Every structure is written in structure tokens, then in C-alpha cells.
Structure 1
Amino acid sequence: MATNKEIFTEAEFAHLGAGEVAYVRKMLTDDLARTFPALPPMMPGMELWALFGADGAPIVLSDARANILAGAQEHELRTVMLH
């Protein structure tokens, strides 16, 4: 029996939602160095909010979730939460 499944290449899947969807994630400053390599050292253990594009590229970092959501709205992105 045939199905109507669409199969994406890895490159197509990586760009799925690009420019349309972003995800919001709460992070500890301890984990930021590998995601935001250009950041200066920060006090360990602080909770911050980050906005990432659908492809995982960092967009905005803030200590307030409202700022992250405003950044998404400015870029006309629909947001989803990542735990």
C-alpha cells in the first residue's frame, strides 16, 4: 500500500520553518558559551532567555522572556517553547 509521505533531504529539513518559526528556550549562563561564542564571560548560574531560528541559529538573548517575545514579533516569527 502506497502512502503520501513526503521525504525531506537533510538540507531541506534544516531549512524547514526558516524565517517563519523560532523557538524560545530558558538557559543558564553556564551553557551559553557554546551557543553564543561571542559573549563575554557571565556570572555562572543565571537564568536567561534565548530566541533561536528554526535552524538553531541564535537571534536574541535577554534576561526577560517578554524581550525575547518582542524580538520574535519584530522579526515576524511564530514562537514555540523548547524545554
Structure 2
Amino acid sequence: MQPRIFIGKVIKEKRVIHKITQAELAERSSLSSISISKCERNITEPSFETIIKLAKAFEMEVSEFVREIEESLEMVQTPD
């Protein structure tokens, strides 16, 4: 599986936890609603700049947001 699948999942989970719509997240992050939707649906993979904007919109440190993405990856990886 590709990491972007989990990035979209984390973005949507954080948005739902914050009880905001895609439009509200777009406004908070200075991104378009279409960009948010595409990231959540794994149509596009967010750039690092987008991840930074999203972290700020969720009032998180970028490292904390990236850590949550990493943790979602670790939960599904199988040992070699």
C-alpha cells in the first residue's frame, strides 16, 4: 500500500475530530476545497507545503502531524 492512502485517512480523521467541513479546513489552511477533497480521497498526494498548512490549520506542530501519519503506517505494516 502507498503512504498517501494513510495521509488522506489522517487528514479526514483530524477534520472530523475538529468538527469542521472540507470548506472550513480549506479556509483555515489557505487551500481549496477541491484540494482537501482530493487529498482525503487519495486522488492526489499532498506536498510537504500542504502538510505544513494542514498541520497549522489543525493547530498542531508539523512534527506531530507527520508522526500521526507515520503511526497510521506502522499499524498496518507486517513484519518481514
TM-score, structure 1 as length reference: 0.26
TM-score, structure 2 as length reference: 0.27
Q: Is the helix fraction higher in 1 or 2?
A: 2
Larger Rg: 1
